[in-house]
Structure 1
Amino acid sequence: MKTTLIPALRLTLVCVVLFMGVYPALIWGIAQLAPNRGRGEIVANNGATYFTQIGQNITTDRYFNGRPSAVGYNAAGSGGSNKGPSNPEYLATVAARVDTFRVHNPGTSQVPAELVTASGSGLDPHLSVEAVLVQVPRIAKVRGVSEASLRDLTAQHTEKPLLGLFGPEKVNVLELNLALDNLGKKGFGNPIHL
């Protein structure tokens, strides 16, 4: 028993020091080199603050809408739903989202999947360029601005793939909406406080 217990205790001690001390300290040190010291990028609008890397629950017709969230955009408990793609409740939820999207965006034949399905974290702040552009006619009509100016604004806020190779082009919906406010100098109305 002594021959197995002592090595097991040593391994446990090494793992505790390594994974509860050295590794967290290393990650914390690397985070200190990141913008805002690893605490995320914060922007302010009309007295409210927002984390740009957390999706926001903005669903009015005046703004670009982001991905739905299975956790109510709560960063303290990120996660998706555990319902599979054949689950009747999940299918009903997605069908209701598709119907709602079509009511607010009439004439749209294809609804991008990311606008009606929640991301794995429930906090995804980005959309594809296509999912943003499909919303342009609605926003142009509601705000009384040209679709061309909204497409230009989208192009200005499109993030390219990492190193030009990894991942798709994407748009941070919050940053795009804040830039959209600057076109009309109007705020979110009832801001979400994080």
Structure 2
Amino acid sequence: MKKYIIQSVRLTVVLLVLLCVVYPISIALAGKFSKGNGGGEKITKNGKVIGYALIGQSFTKPQYFWGRPSAVNYNAAGSGGSNKGPSNPDYLKEVSNRIDTLLKYNPSIKKSDIPADMVTASGSGLDPNISEQGAIIQIKRIAAYRKIDERKVAELVVANTQKPFLGFFGPTTVNVLKLNFALEEFGSRK
């Protein structure tokens, strides 16, 4: 019996050292060598942080690209989905309202052109990316509001499109904050 207790205590001490000291330190060091030194990829303008590239933000003005809807109002402290199923009448009404808003501000598109990510919230409510199609359907609206040639706006979308990891893992996406930042930078150069 004494033999098993000593082995259990030794194993507990080894696991405590590994999981409470070695692992957290190795993760912190890996973060320090990553983009943003473990503090996330910050987007700055004139030395001031205007946002984080990996956290979705609310853009509602028609001259900006709109991101994916959020069930938590883009609150990073309380991320989560709506937990409403596809047959829930409240959920269906929310999605229908989002579709109506997109069609109102983008009259050149058809309902069938709207990708699902533009009208449904992500599981975290903080998705910073939209699909490439989600960006494309907004080009005409943004070009009209900003009085910019549509081709220039399309070039910004292409320049800010992220291809799938290793060419085939995941979808092609566009980071909304980076794209809107590039749009602002382009507007200030005109």
- Common fold, TM-score beyond 0.5? yes
Of structures 1 and 2, the one scoring higher in RCO (CA 8 A, sep 6+) is 1
**SS of residue in 2 equivalent to 1:49:** strand
Give the Å deviation of 1:176. 0.7
Partner of 1:18: 18
Letter in 2 for 1:138: R
Structure-2 change in CA distance of 1:10 and 1:97 (3 Å)? farther
Within 5 Å, give how 1:35-54 maps onto structure 2: 35-45=35-45, 47=48, 49-54=50-55
Q: Bigger CA drift: 130-139 or 155-164?
A: 155-164
Give the Å deviation of 1:34. 0.5
The question of whether the paired residues in 1 share the 8 Å contact of 2:41 and 2:52 is answered with yes
- 1:113 equivalent to 2:151? Answer no
> Aligned Cα RMSD in Å?
2.3
Within 5 Å, give how 1:52-71 maps onto structure 2: 52-71=53-72
Structure-2 change in CA distance of 1:116 and 1:3 (3 Å)? farther
- 1:156 equivalent to 2:139? Answer no
Gaps of 5+ in 2: none
Higher-helix-fraction structure: 2
Structure 1: distance between partners of 2:29 and 2:59: 35
Letter in 2 for 1:29: L
Give the Å deviation of 1:67. 0.5
Gaps of 5+ in 1: 187-194
Structure-2 change in CA distance of 1:11 and 1:146 (3 Å)? same
Using structure 1 for the length normalisation, give the TM-score: 0.85
Give the share of equivalent positions with the same residue, in percent: 48
Q: Deviation per CA, 1:117-147, whole angstroms, max 9, x where unpaired? A: 1111111111111110000111111111111
Within 5 Å, give how 1:1-194 maps onto structure 2: 13-45=13-45, 47=48, 49-109=50-110, 110-185=113-188
Letter in 1 for 2:100: D
Structure 2: distance between partners of 1:12 and 1:93: 51
Q: Work out the number of aligned pairs and report it.
A: 186
Q: Bigger CA drift: 60-69 or 75-84?
A: 75-84
Q: Deviation per CA, 1:22-78, whole angstroms, max 9, x where unpaired? A: 322221121111022111111224755211111110111000000011111111222
Structure 1: distance between partners of 2:151 and 2:13: 62
Structure 2: distance between partners of 1:10 and 1:118: 48
Using structure 2 for the length normalisation, give the TM-score: 0.86
The question of whether the paired residues in 1 share the 8 Å contact of 2:42 and 2:49 is answered with no
